[in-house]
Amino acid sequence: MFSPTALRPRYAKWLIATGLFLMLSGCVDKPNTLERVKEDGVLRVITRNSPATYFQDRSGETGFEYELVKRFADDLGVELKIETADNLDDLFDQIGKPNGPVLAAAGLVSSEQRKKQVRFSHSYLEVTPQIIYRNGQSRPTDASELVGKKIMVLKGSTHADQLAELKQKYPGIEYEESDAVEVVDLLRMVDEGQIDLTLVDSNEVAMNQVYFTNIRVAFDLGDARSQSWAVAAGEDNSLLNEINSYLDKVQKNGTLQRLKDRYYGHVDVLGYMGATTFAQHLQQRLPKYEQHFKTYAKKEKVDWRLLAAIGYQESLWQPAVTSKTGVRGLMMLTQNTAQAMGVSNRLDPKQSIMGGAKYLAYMKDQLDDSIQEPDRTWFALAAYNVGSGHLDDARKLASREGLNPDKWLDVKKMLPRLSQKQWYSKTRYGYARGGEPVHFVANIRRYYDILTWVTQPQLEGDQVAEGNLHVPGIDKSKPAQENPPL
């Protein structure tokens, strides 16, 4: 018979062994971040509410970062849940919190301080910090001329770090960091003269410059930098490795380039004078025809803002114009097209818009089923301009060059060849001014972008209303007089 004292050491050893076994079992069974995302069926992502990252319009969620991370979630086979941070400090604080976001996709640039908080993925976009000033004011040409200027940047941004470094060399530099604004607010404040200067990345300047017609780039402050996604600090590389594999894949297969082209590839087509004129015409001309655009776009199941953008590209929303080639009216229809679409008077703006809507819908319907959106819309616009036959020729040229005939990014490279004999002599429909539809589509895309922003419904809440986060900086006051027709 064993005594109680003899049992105690064995019992104690058994308890220790059992405890260790349970601890080890718990470690083995605990899922890593990637496994947890897949088990939950949800990818939780935090971002910024801005044109270059994530915002909502009447069509739903959109933005460069949103589309890129949405494709990642689709690749994982999980639902995407987006939340927006009030400011950059809040964004970094939220990463990795229990039941919180596991990924930040917000146009982030790595820094030594940030590396203490998070880990960064492979790069997907190169940007350059730029000093922005107001047209008509003295243009600073180097860092020494920032002294004495009223400057504001985002709190917690790498731009604030840059200015802090400059201040060591030029103690007279003064700047304010704010967590109550976004980049779009900073650009608006420069545009309106509330501040003298700001420092933002080149992609945000390019995307927003058309809304703020007074802003100008003074100079680049430093070299180009890489934007990356961020995950929580630690030794769990499961999600980070998956992200890097995905980013490498979309870089290689062209998806990333197509997104860049969609959001940034057409941002400079208007120039400052074109942007100013368009802003004026939004107030002076569009209201006369807006209801017609909405009525016939709805009837033909196209976006009225796209239809309006075509009208502006064709005639600057002027109903009585006639080109040297004989096309007439607000939508600049040919005689044959007008007759085919049931338009008896091309100079009647209502009839012209009706005809343009029917013709755009017809062009889309004629395209091959293999062409998907958004490329399908760009192809339809090109066909609207140059004709479906010439567009087919360009697609065939793309195929011969090993490019994708269903992607606008590839086909638009081929269209200019239709004006070169060595190429058009090999096509069915021959010569065409192939560069024109490329510019035609690029301009319409930019006008459409602006119209999309202008017509967005305002979100509820004082922060949005007062901060003007979702409204482009187009002067709403009535101009003294309308410019003469261009």
Task: Please identify every residue annotated as catalytic.
Answer: 314
d(CA 163, CA 175): 8
Q: Which one-letter amino acid corresponds to residue 257?
A: Q
Give, in degrees to the nearest 5, the angle at Cα 165 between 161 and 167.
115
Please name which of 314, 307, 334 lies closest in space to residue 440, comparing C-alpha atoms: 314
Residues 330, 304: Cα–Cα separation, whole Å:
15
At 16, is the secondary structure helix, strand, or coil? helix
Question: Which residues face 216 on adjacent strands?
Answer: 133
Name the strand (E) or helix (H) holding 29.
helix 4-29
Give backbone dihedrals phi and psi of 200, rounded to 5 degrees, phi first.
-140, 170
Longest dimension (CA), the chain: 116
Phi-psi region of 430 (alpha: psi -120 to 50; beta: other; left: phi over 0): left
The set of residues, in sequence order, having a beta carbon less than 8 Å from that of 275 and lying 6+ positions away, is: 209, 210, 211, 213
Q: How far apart are CA 73 and CA 243, in angstroms?
A: 10
- What is the C-alpha to C-alpha distance for residues 230 and 104, in angstroms, rounded to an integer? 5
- Pair 359, 337: CB distance under 8 Å: yes
DSSP state, 310? Answer: H
Cα dihedral angle (61, 111, 232, 117), rounded to 10 degrees? Answer: -120
For residue 66, CA distances in Å to 229, 396, 456 come to: 12, 33, 18
